């Protein structure tokens, strides 16, 4: 038996054991059997490489893998309180949404669970849209993936390219499924209003298919070229505004307006949530940095008003990194930031 025949035999064994739809298994087996006939031809290696890449994608997708939902409302409430300060109206809406899902699951109406309108968090940059979406996934015990739409101009970014093209690969939806390894994951469609003007209409057309329960149970990526059931995926969307979202897409959503933060709220978030998290992420020991209360007003507004939290996060992160370096250089073990010395850390 030749080396090529040996390799093809190995791939046929992989196909036989793979957890994939039977029809797709038969197509793959047939194609690899046909590859034997090309052995020795100039086109063999390119064809073999193409189908090996394709097989790798097929066997790595969660065709039948799911995670168990953990819709404990008390736990969900605790997670929301732990990760987000204030936003009580938003939290209530999320808990109401999860309650409806739990009731349907408890009544074994799983097929109708994802027919509810898609949550779409609308608000300025940095108001917590993305983080509250990942929190929903955590509260449900589901795996989470994010698809960024900012600057997207080609529907093939979502849909993939035919495997007949050199270097073709699946679209971002299929990639999210492989990342999460779960067909009932949570997928965040992030900033869907920020696609390019040229690609808006065609991208919105793909979104309609993704979000429509009558269509998404047989979503076909151009690369995979076989229907994948997305009906168990929980899609969540974010947007800076709703003006640039097609009506057909908006009709399938429940827009939830995210409020802007006032300075007092930012200070509380900075103290209770942001600083402890950034210290932990940076490896700075507990108690190494103390920030006087009077300093927070300057930290919150280093460059003027900002409705979101990203400027504050960048500022706090910059302060912590400066001090991390000073600790490593042996300058001191503890640092107190006061109104008198804050400028040296903000610069």
Conformational region of residue 35, where left means phi above 0, alpha means psi within -120 to 50, and beta covers everything else: alpha
How many residues are recorded in the chain?
347
DSSP 1-47: --HHHHHHHHHHHHHHHS-S-HHHHHHHHHHHHHHGGGTTSTTHHHH
Indicate the CATH number of 263-346 among 3.30.930.10, 1.10.8.60, 2.40.50.100, 3.20.20.70.
Answer: 1.10.8.60
Give residue limits of the domains in the chain. Answer: 3-60, 73-257, 263-346
Q: pTM value?
A: 0.82
Tokens of 50: 């193409």
Q: Which CATH class, in words, describes the domain spanning 73-257?
A: alpha beta
Query: What does the pLDDT look like over 262-279, one tens digit per residue?
Result: 888 888 888 888 899 899
Query: What does the pLDDT look like over 117-155, one tens digit per residue?
Result: 789 999 888 788 898 999 999 988 999 999 999 999 999
Which of 11-20, 172-181, 273-282 shows the highest mean pLDDT?
172-181
Question: d(Cα 21, Cα 63) in Å, to the nearest integer?
Answer: 8
Tokens of 86: 């204030």
What is the three-class DSSP state of 218?
helix
Q: Beta 289-291 vs 253-257: how paired, if at all?
A: unpaired
Question: d(Cα 75, Cα 246) in Å, to the nearest integer?
Answer: 36
List, in sequence order, every beta strand (DSSP E) within 234-316.
234-239, 253-257, 289-291
Share of the chain above pLDDT 70, in %: 94
Question: d(Cα 250, Cα 248) in Å, to the nearest integer?
Answer: 6
Q: What is the pLDDT of residue 114?
A: 57
């Amino acid at each position: 038996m030749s080396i090529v025949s040996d390799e093809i035999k190995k791939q046929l064994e992989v196909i036989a054991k793979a957890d994939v739809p039977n029809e797709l298994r038969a197509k793959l087996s047939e194609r690899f059997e046909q590859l034997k006939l090309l052995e020795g031809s100039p086109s063999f290696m390119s064809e073999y490489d193409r189908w090996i890449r394709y097989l790798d994608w097929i066997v790595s997708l969660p065709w039948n893998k799911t995670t168990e939902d953990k819709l404990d409302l008390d736990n969900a409430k605790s997670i929301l309180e732990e990760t987000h300060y204030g936003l009580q109206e938003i939290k209530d809406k999320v808990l109401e949404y999860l309650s409806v899902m739990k009731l349907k699951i408890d009544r074994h109406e799983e097929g109708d669970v994802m027919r509810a309108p898609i949550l779409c968090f609308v608000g300025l940059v940095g108001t917590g849209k993305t983080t509250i979406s990942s929190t929903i996934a955590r509260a449900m015990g589901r795996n989470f993936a994010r698809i960024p739409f900012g600057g997207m101009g080609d529907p093939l970014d979502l849909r993939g390219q035919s495997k007949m093209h050199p270097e073709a690969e699946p679209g971002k939806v299929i990639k999210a499924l492989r990342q999460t390894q779960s067909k009932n994951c949570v997928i965040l469609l992030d900033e869907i209003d920020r696609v390019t003007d040229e690609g808006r209409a065609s991208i919105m057309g793909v979104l309609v298919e993704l979000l429509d329960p009558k269509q998404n149970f047989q979503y076909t990526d151009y690369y995979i070229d076989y229907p994948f059931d997305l009906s168990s995926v929980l899609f969540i969307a974010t947007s800076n505004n709703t003006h640039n979202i097609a009506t057909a897409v908006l009709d399938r959503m429940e827009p939830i307006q995210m409020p802007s933060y006032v300075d007092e709220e930012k200070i509380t978030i900075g103290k209770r949530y942001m600083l402890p998290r950034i210290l932990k992420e940076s490896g700075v020991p507990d108690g190494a940095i103390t920030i006087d209360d009077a300093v927070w007003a300057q930290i919150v507004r280093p460059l003027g008003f900002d409705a979101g939290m990203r400027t504050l996060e960048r500022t706090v992160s910059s302060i912590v990194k400066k001090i991390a370096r000073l600790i490593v250089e042996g300058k001191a073990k503890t640092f107190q930031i006061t109104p008198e010395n804050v400028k040296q850390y903000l610069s």
